[in-house]
Amino acid sequence: MQPVDFTTLAAACSELRAHWLPSRLEQVYQRDRYTIVVALRTLKQRGWLEISWHPQAARICIGEPPPRSPDTFTFSQQLVHQLNGLALVSIEAIAPWERVIDLQFARRPKENALHHIYVEVMGKYSNVILTDASNLIITAAHQVSQQQSSVRPIQTGQPYEPPPKLTGTVPSLSESPERWQERVSLVPGAVKRQLLKSYSGLSSALVELMLVAADLAPETTTNKLNPNDWQRLFARWQEWLQALELNKFQPAWTVNGYTVMGWGAVAPAKDIQSLLAKYYNDQINQQLFSQLRHQLSQKLNNILAKLRNKAQTFADRLQQSDEADEYRQKADLLMANLQNWQPGMKEITLLDFETSQPIAIALQPDKNAVQNAQRLYKQHQKLKRARTAVEPLFLEVQAELAYLEQVEAAIAQIDQYRTIEDLQALEEIRDELIGQKYLEDPEYRNRSTNETTSTNFYRYRTPNGFEVLIGRNNRQNDQLTFRVAGDYDLWFHTQEIPGSHLLLRLEPGSVPEATDLQFVANLAAYYSRARQSEQVPVIYTQPKHVYKPKGAKPGIAIYKQERILWGKPQLVVNSQ
């Protein structure tokens, strides 16, 4: 993940000063452990200032509004208490080339600041600190005790001290090309590394793009640069310093991230605020998505493995109970042929009553014929009782397996992060598993059991323009089937195979053609566990013929009056 460097921070603050000063603070909301958003209102607009001390994605920019869920963090509540009714009147760097921003709040513009928020954008040491007018710390995102750092403790009631000053050489527009080249090439080495070692205020991403703009490879050594190379590189160096001096930046997307200098651009960005908000929210969501998907997959694999073992044990016991009649038959044969038994026999062979085929019966030599028959009758009764006890348990395990395999199939469909809807769909699966007691909920705030399920279904259009909605998880499947479905729609699902519920939306009087039905059948096969198959049986029926059994888990449905089509999932793959 590309960190916010000094240049990016300077560009973001320049844009904030131009468009958001002064502004009235209306609300503070904490999104998570690392991010707050502050509602600001100017005479022309209202927006949310995103301030993050995330160890990999610390930043300050205008971002998206917060969710509607309640904020239970104490840090944001303290900020609201102190800053309520104040205005953001100034955004200043505390010192040249430092990645620490001072947000100043006063009752109105041109009055002395009553509070400061210091935003320290410094990687894993990032912090957000609120002080009063005399710079006494009121609260901090990270309290740092004397035991943790004797250099700079950060504790409530103590004076705020800025981070230690930079010790390296800082860039300057007035430095001559000769002095600059001498400093960079003093010790031969890769030009990228030498620039980073020679000057403060640079970042790896900035230097790489600077070298690309100068048509130089980052690993080129300084002793291999000719005078033209040095001249091109110094021109880019000066271009960078002038952009900082004049606050003129060119935000754009690059192959691997973003730039505020326009170097290596593959697509322009509207402004620096939207660029940073999108990049870092996407990166963090990608991390959360990968972690959550791995967590859910691992948990499901463990549970399913145990359930499959349990199901196999029950199946074996039921198979044994199928032999109950055989024990009774042998006991009857033995009782009818007591005269053929002799003391000490370990086995006796008798003819079957109906087929006259010989049947070998194992005997215990220390027991007589009647006792051996009684033993066989008891075994018969035991196995019959076992079936009565085991069968409902086996059916229960099978139902649980069917449900969890449906969940597993839903996770398999959400295979990579593309949009925020993908993360939301996974979070709904996590919440569902918590609600079904398969997961514990130690880290997340209490959720309402009636929490609204999102409606960010997969959406397609058939060849004739009919809309197709596809559930991403069991909650959405239930929403789609039992709330969204209309009287004229058609409901699709793979036959006896875990997969998504699909809805072909139809207006009164409209009739889908065979190509439309086949298109939806292909989608149903694709969004199922049988995605890799060539042909998959898919049923469809009217929603009024789909029912949810009493007490059934999310996503489970039964149907009748269905018709069958053969879906071809590979056609969906090929068309994407």
pLDDT at site 450 = 43
Per-domain boundaries in the chain: 6-140, 177-269, 286-451, 458-575
The tens digit of pLDDT for each residue in 527-549 reads 999 999 999 999 999 999 999 98
Q: What percent of the chain stands above pLDDT 70? A: 96
**Do 6-140 and 177-269 have matching folds?**
no
Q: Which residues pair with 525 in a beta bridge?
A: none
Our separate counts of H helices and E strands in the chain read: 13, 22
Three-class HEC string of 200-227: CCCCHHHHHHHHHHCCCCCCCEHHHCCH
Instruction: Categorize the per-residue pLDDT at 328 as very low, low, confident or very high, splitting at 50, 70 and 90.
Output: confident
CATH class, range 6-140: mainly beta
According to the model, what pLDDT value does residue 94 have? Answer: 94
Predicted pLDDT at 350: 87
Quick check: bond before 22 cis, omega within 30?
Answer: yes
Lowest mean pLDDT among 161-170, 318-327, 362-371, 508-517: 318-327
| Three-class secondary structure of residue 71 per DSSP | coil
Q: Is the confidence at residue 327, as pLDDT, over 80?
A: no
More confident residue, 239 or 339: 239
CATH number given to 177-269: 1.10.8
Closest CA to 222 of 195, 188, 199: 188
Judge whether 409 and 501 are in contact, CB under 8 Å.
no
Cα 429 from Cα 227, distance rounded (Å): 61
| Contact between residue 3 and residue 56 where contact means Cβ atoms under 8 Å apart | yes
Burial 17-30 (b: 16+ CB within 10 A, else e): eeebbbbebebbbb
Question: 360 CB contacts (<8 Å, ≥6 apart)?
Answer: 347, 348, 349
Torsion 517-518-522-528 (CA) sign: positive
* Per-residue pLDDT, 449: 41
CA pair distance 101, 12, nearest whole angstrom: 11
Q: What phi and psi values does residue 31 have, to the nearest 5 degrees?
A: -70, -45
Q: Which pair of tokens denotes residue 356?
A: 């006259």
Interior CA angle at 433 toward 427 and 438, to 5°?
A: 140
Q: Has residue 390 got a pLDDT over 90? A: no
pLDDT in tens, 308-317: 999 999 888 8
Q: What value does the mean pLDDT of the chain take? A: 91
Beta carbons of 46 and 115 less than 8 angstroms apart: no
Comparing 109-123, 163-177, 367-381, the range with the smallest average pLDDT is 367-381
**Tell me, what amino acid is at 484?**
V
Residues 6+ apart with CB under 8 A from 87: 22, 23, 24, 25, 105, 106, 107, 108, 109
CA of residue 272 relative to chain centroid, distance: 26
Question: How far from each other are the two terminal CA atoms of the chain, in whole angstroms?
Answer: 29
Radius of gyration of the chain (CA): 36
Query: pLDDT tens digit string along 551-568?
Result: 888 999 999 999 999 999
Q: How far is CA 287 from CA 2, 255, 291, 406, 417, in A?
A: 14, 19, 6, 25, 9
